[in-house]
Amino acid sequence: MQPALPDLTDLLAAGQEVVAVYDAETVQVCGDGLASQVGLLCPWVLDITGNEQLARGATTFVAVPFRILLILVFAVVLRWVLLRAINRLVTGTSRSGPLRIPLRSRDGRAARVLEASPLTSERREQRAATIGSVLRSLTSLVVFGVAVAMSLSEVGFDLAPVLASAGIVGVAVGFGAQTLVRDFLSGIFMILEDQFGVGDVIDAGEASGVVEAVALRTTRLRDVNGTVWHIRNGEILRVGNQSQGWSRALLDVNAAYSSDVEHVKTVIKRTADEMRDDPELGAYILEEPEVWGLERMEPDAMVVRLVVKTAPLKQWDVGRALRQRIKEAFDREGIEMPLPQRSIWVRTDGPGAFGGQPTAQSSEPRPAAPPGSVPPEPER
């Protein structure tokens, strides 16, 4: 027995909005589908054809698939628009993205050198490509996931148990794959924070070397011996980047105690300034070299420190060239390079005795004893 339908006058008096009014036959044939927009096709077909089976099939085989098709088409279009926006963002960032560490110098040499560096361009492109890949994957997952859920709800599928089961499985997988999740999260934050990139020289604790690849889960390094290291991002607790933004060539120059300190400092400073004007290596020196002065006094030498701010990864080339030029300048100026000092004791009071004060100091090695000879023992 069909329940009695409420009177239209009573509904209007109660302030309810009435969209459509159907007779008892239509309600019996179309059922609960009248409450949804897809159900509007059923009474329309029933009114035209008068066939109950055709009216019921119109909703099942026409209206529902049509709405699912609209959902999928909208998802594809939305994904295409979002991916296009992400690609434009990635392209703009890889071409003209700002450096993470701004540099300032009086003549603007630092910014020009870094912008022209191929490592800077490669680093920027690699970082932008990785971020773009992550954003594209997340966009596709979210858009198509929502589209599939909406499509299943259109065919009357109850998503509540599925979502509850997915939540339980997600928690179980999260506990079982904590290391994998930690690696991925660490990799994402490393890329977003620009801690290091391809071409950087880093110290990651157990391994150090040039970064060859940065992925979401692992980082690949090649050390100075040519060994390739694969490091999980979740295991990197601290990173020392030796080439981010700018580098510094630090030279501790030894000079003999007989040399004048001010003269040594003047020669070192003049040599470094001349190298800065060099058309080849001078382009890698970002600021005026500084001589910090007498750094320490060792038993056989005094040490004067020179620091030079260079472009990334050029501190070693600049340092080697400076050492060679400083050696040549010391030879021209007559500044003595210190040598290890040795005290030689000689026999003074008999064929078997050693004693007295040292009679000579020399850096030359002691001559070897004749073959088969035995050194005499001292007298007691």
Query: Over pLDDT 90: what percentage of the chain?
Result: 22
Tell me how crowded residue 239 is: count the other CB atoms within 10 A of its CB: 18
Report whether pLDDT(355) > 60: no
Please give the residue that has the higher pLDDT: either 266 or 179. 266
pLDDT of res. 251: 93
Model confidence at 103, in pLDDT bands (50, 70, 90)? very low
Q: What is the CA angle 340-341-342, rounded to 5?
A: 125
On whether residue 378 sits in a domain, the answer given is: no
pLDDT at site 104: 46
* Terminal CA-CA length for the chain: 134
DSSP per residue, 118-142 = HHHHHHHHHHHHHHHHHHHHHHHHH
* pTM of the shown model: 0.54
DSSP code string of 319-332? HHHHHHHHHHHHHH
Whole-angstrom distance, CA of residue 205 vs CA of residue 209? 11
Domain end call among 77, 98, 123 = 77
Tokens matching residue 329: 């300048």
pLDDT number for residue 123:
64
* 326 pLDDT above the threshold of 70: yes
**Residue 352 confidence (pLDDT):** 54
**For residue 38, which of 154, 148, 153, 159 has the smallest C-alpha distance?**
154
Query: How many other CB atoms sit within 10 Å of the CB of residue 297?
Result: 9
Residue 346 has pLDDT above 60, yes or no: yes
pLDDT tens profile 278-312:
888 888 898 899 999 999 998 888 999 999 999 88
Structural domain contains residue 135:
no
Per the CB < 8 A criterion, the answer to whether 284 and 112 are in contact is no
Q: How confident is the model at residue 161 (pLDDT cuts 50, 70, 90)?
A: confident
As for how many domains the chain has, the answer is 2
pLDDT at 371: 52
What is the total residue count of the chain? 380
Residue 20 lies in a domain: yes
Q: In the numeric block, which tokens belong to residue 110?
A: 């630092």
Residue 130 counted as domain residue: no
Using 50, 70 and 90 to split pLDDT, how confident is the model at 171? confident
**317 assigned to some structural domain:** yes
The DSSP annotation for 258-301 comes to: TS-HHHHHHHHHHHHHHHHT-TTGGGGB-S--EEEEEEEEETTE
pLDDT band at 99 (very low <50, low <70, confident <90, very high): very low
CATH number, position 270: 3.30.70.100
Top mean-pLDDT range of 6-10, 192-196, 236-240, 342-346: 236-240
311 occurs within a structural domain: yes
Q: What is the mean pLDDT of residues 12-36?
A: 49
Does the residue 29 lie in any domain?
yes
Separation of alpha carbons 126 and 315, rounded Å: 24
pLDDT at position 197 is: 80
| Whether pLDDT at 90 is above 50 | yes
Q: What is the CB neighbour count within 10 angstroms for residue 157?
A: 11
Domain limits at 36? Answer: 8-77
The 10s digit of each residue's pLDDT in 199-234 is: 888 998 888 899 888 888 899 999 988 899 999 998
Of all helices (H) and strands (E), which one includes residue 55? helix 52-58
One-letter identity of residue 29: V
Domain boundary (39, 54, 77) is at 77
Q: Would you say residue 185 lies in a domain?
A: no
Where a domain ends, among 23, 43, 77?
A: 77
Condensed to tens digits (0 to 9), the pLDDT of residues 187-207 reads 888 887 878 888 888 998 888
| Residue 209 to residue 220: CA distance in whole angstroms | 9
